Structure 1
Amino acid sequence: MTVSRTVELEGHIIDSGTMARCFGAVMDLGGEFDVEAFEVGRHKHAESYCRMAVSAESEADLRAILHELNQNGATVADPRDATLEAAPADQVVPIDFYSTTNHPTEVRVDGEWIPVENVEMDCALVVSRAEDEADEVRVRTRVLNAIEESDLVVTGETGIRVDPPERPRGKGSAFGFMQGGVSSERPSKSLIEEIADEMRDVAESDGNVLVVCGPAIVHAGGREALADLVREGYIDALSAGNGFAVHDIERDLYGTSLGVDTETLEHPRKGHKHHIYTISEIGRAGGIEAAVDAGIVDSGVMYECVANDVPYVLAGSIRDDGPLPDTITDSIEAQDAIREQAQQADLVLMLSTLLHSVAVGNCLPSTTKTVCVDINPATVTQLLDRGSAQAIGMVTDIGTFLPMLAEELLEDEV
């Protein structure tokens, strides 16, 4: 005996491939579908509509299909309120809890659709009511290690609707959803101009630009350009690892990055020890800010962050030497700090760092404009594969990209 439910799709479902993905998901999971209504938008800005009955051999199979359809923006017709179950213990979610996407999401509670706050992928959804206002309902994402006993967690697929960003007909900017992709042949100058325009718009609207930095910025000669962008107010927050900060400060103290003179490419005597000497000097001063205040550090990206009150998060790893006193060595604490940065960002520049790009990407909603630049196309590809489909990718040398971006942004200020 088969079981079935009716689902609906609405929007630019043809151009974005949403309808085809939903059809494929039903068949791949062993179900069947019957299109009951289909209305095609008749001009490039018009939306389309599809209603279909989805059937499967069992309730379990149907739930799996509905879950996949939900992730792609389909909603169950005649929706009911979401199912809520209390968490049985701290850091434990109920069986069949709803695992989030990074797309805008709403949850139906008491007959009303409530927008989910702080959208993030791979989280649970927790419903709460304000203690001082009994009628106010909030739905927030929460990572599993932050779940507390008795939290009301959304389970199943009922009463949830997801709104993936869509691509309408016609050409848009490079920031149009799913229009970026990865290409080493993309005309970089025109794309850099678009990125610069977006950064200007964010700055003019008092938005937030987050830059995610890898040590290659220093090695490849992009450090000064990035420092200029921080000083001129185009960067509002910085996320990096211990390595980036060490090499940036090493360049200031010793003129080297990982022991190599970044201008002559020579290896000074004892240059291989410069990074550990740098950590020692900053530790002796009491941290990066203290070193800047004492005049020990007087140039570079970290210097400009301190001098211009640009907040930064340095997340540690098992590979770190030292690390610097400013580096967060507790991984959960570092995740929370990165998550706070990501939730405030309107535009994110991910520059030559695979691990940090993926970490920050995991915390971003799909509506946050994202640029990923790396000489290795696998870095951008892995970011997209992890779900950050809103990212546009440039496969190029970071030492070429950053000076071009700085020139484009600062040319009118010279």
Structure 2
Amino acid sequence: MTVTREVELEGHIIDSGTMGAAFSIVMDMGGSFTVEAFDIGRRKEEPSYARLLVEADDPETLQSIVHELHQHGANPADPTDATLEPAPADRVVPHGFYSTTNHPTFVRHDDEWLPVENMEMDCAIVVEPADDDRLADGSDTGPRAYTKVLNAVEAGDRIVTGDSGIRVEPPERPRDAGGTFGFMQGGVSAERPSESTIRKIATAMRETNEAGGSVLAVCGPALIHSGAREDLARLVREGHVDMLSAGNGFAVHDIERDLYGTSLGVDTETLDHARHGHKHHIYAISEVIREGGIEAAVESGTIESGVMYECVVNDRPYVLAGSIRDDGPLPDTITDAVEAQNAIREQAHEADMVLMLSTLLHSVAVGNCLPSTTPVVCVDINPATVTQLLDRGSAQAVGMVTDVGTFVPLLAETLAEDA
């Protein structure tokens, strides 16, 4: 005896490949389907609609198919309220809890669709009921739904379980890829005309800033080694970059360049190895520790230039997340992994556009916290790095396989020309 379930797909489901993906999922997982309704949008701005009857040999197989379809934006045709179960203990989720994607998500509660706040992948969804306390305007404060990472779950949190009462809306690829971020749908290429792409990225950054949004730069030490330090500092100083996320190594070599003219002991202009240059980064760490931190070293005049200098004097917030291999580390580096993750998460939720510049480790950390709707630019000399980062799920992303030491100066120059 077979079991069935109706699901719906709506939006630009043909252009984005969503409908074809849904067909493949059903067949690959041992099910079958019947297209009960199919309305095709006949203009660029018109969405399409399809209703499928999914069939499987047993309830377990059907549930698995519907769950996978749900991750790709297919939603039950007969939605019910989401199932809520209390967390049995701190940092423990109920069996069968719903694990989030990074796509915009809604939860049905008391026959109302609640948008899930702070979307990111691999989280639980907590639903809070309406607060009886009235606000000044006479309204109450709820209900609301939001994500929580595992280490933040508290005993008694009402956690969404199963797949019922959940709607996922993956960002689509419309027929008309216009708008500020329309060009960010071309995947990865080492042959795309760099200057035209950089100009479009500069336009997107400028329009993000003009709209009151924030641009986050995620940076690796290679940016300093490649000689792009002064140009990134300029982007920070002129307000094109609003926040910085990096590791201990990035800040150390940025400061080393200011104090000793080297990065990892190498003069970034002449490429000469300085005598005893291998000690410079340790000396740089020691001097900052002596001052009590980066901000104190800037205020005392010990640090007089560079990316970290510009962040301090222009009040641009930064997060330096530590790792097991760090020298020092600097006093500003967050060495507690959970604390660093929370700081990164706060930045990611605030960012309206992200530049990932030659760092796989920190870009993956930030990418894990981003909703799929946040525009992302990823630049790395290694094509595998760019592909891996973009495959994490941003619908508005562009990857450039190029030297970050070439990209950042060209970006700074383009933004200056158009000012």
Give the TM-score band, short-chain normalised. Answer: over 0.9
1:16 counterpart residue number? 16
| Cα distance in 1, alignment partners of residues 350 and 215 from structure 2 | 9
Match of 1:68, as an amino acid? E
Secondary structure, aligned partner of 1:239: strand
1:397 counterpart residue number? 403
**Per-residue CA distance 1:166-185 (angstroms, 9 max, x = gap):** 11114436833871311000
**Per-residue CA distance 1:347-388 (angstroms, 9 max, x = gap):** 100000001111101100011111001111111111123333
After TM superposition, give the deviation of residue 56 of structure 1 in Å.
1.3
| Cα distance in 1, alignment partners of residues 253 and 397 from structure 2 | 27
Secondary structure, aligned partner of 2:94: coil
Match of 1:22, as an amino acid? A
| Cα distance in 2, alignment partners of residues 402 and 409 from structure 1 | 11
| Residue 324 (1) aligns with residue 320 (2) | no
| Residue 238 (1) aligns with residue 244 (2) | yes
Secondary structure, aligned partner of 2:125: strand
2:122 counterpart residue number? 122
Q: Does structure 2 retain, via aligned residues, the 8 Å contact 1:87–1:148?
A: yes
2:83 counterpart residue number? 83
1:377 counterpart residue number? 383
Q: Does structure 1 retain, via aligned residues, the 8 Å contact 2:190–2:402?
A: yes
Secondary structure, aligned partner of 1:323: coil
Choose the corresponding residue for 2:188, options 165, 182, 189. 182
Runs of 4 or more, structure 1, over 4 Å off, are none
| Residue 29 (1) aligns with residue 29 (2) | yes
2:412 counterpart residue number? 406
2:276 counterpart residue number? 270
Choose the corresponding residue for 1:137, options 131, 143, 147. 143
Give the count of matched residue pairs. 413
After TM superposition, give the deviation of residue 103 of structure 1 in Å.
0.7
Query: What is the root-mean-square deviation of aligned Cα atoms in Å?
Result: 1.4
Structure 1: segments with no counterpart, 5+ residues: none
**Per-residue CA distance 1:255-290 (angstroms, 9 max, x = gap):** 000110111111111100101111000000000000
Match of 1:111, as an amino acid? D
Q: Does structure 2 retain, via aligned residues, the 8 Å contact 1:117–1:140?
A: yes
Q: Does structure 2 retain, via aligned residues, the 8 Å contact 1:350–1:370?
A: yes
Match of 1:84, as an amino acid? L
Match of 1:54, as an amino acid? V
| Cα distance in 2, alignment partners of residues 204 and 178 from structure 1 | 19
| Cα distance in 1, alignment partners of residues 325 and 181 from structure 2 | 35
**Per-residue CA distance 1:101-131 (angstroms, 9 max, x = gap):** 1111100000000000001011010001254
2:224 counterpart residue number? 218
| Residue 73 (1) aligns with residue 79 (2) | no
| 1:210-359 equivalences in 2 (<5 Å) | 210-359=216-365
Choose the corresponding residue for 2:170, options 151, 164, 167. 164
| Cα distance in 1, alignment partners of residues 180 and 382 from structure 2 | 20
Q: Does structure 1 retain, via aligned residues, the 8 Å contact 2:181–2:204?
A: no
Match of 1:262, as an amino acid? T
Q: Percent identity?
A: 71
| Residue 3 (1) aligns with residue 7 (2) | no
- Answer with 386-395 or 57-66: which moved more: 386-395
| Cα distance in 1, alignment partners of residues 222 and 282 from structure 2 | 18
| Cα distance in 2, alignment partners of residues 219 and 130 from structure 1 | 53
Q: Does structure 1 retain, via aligned residues, the 8 Å contact 2:378–2:390?
A: no
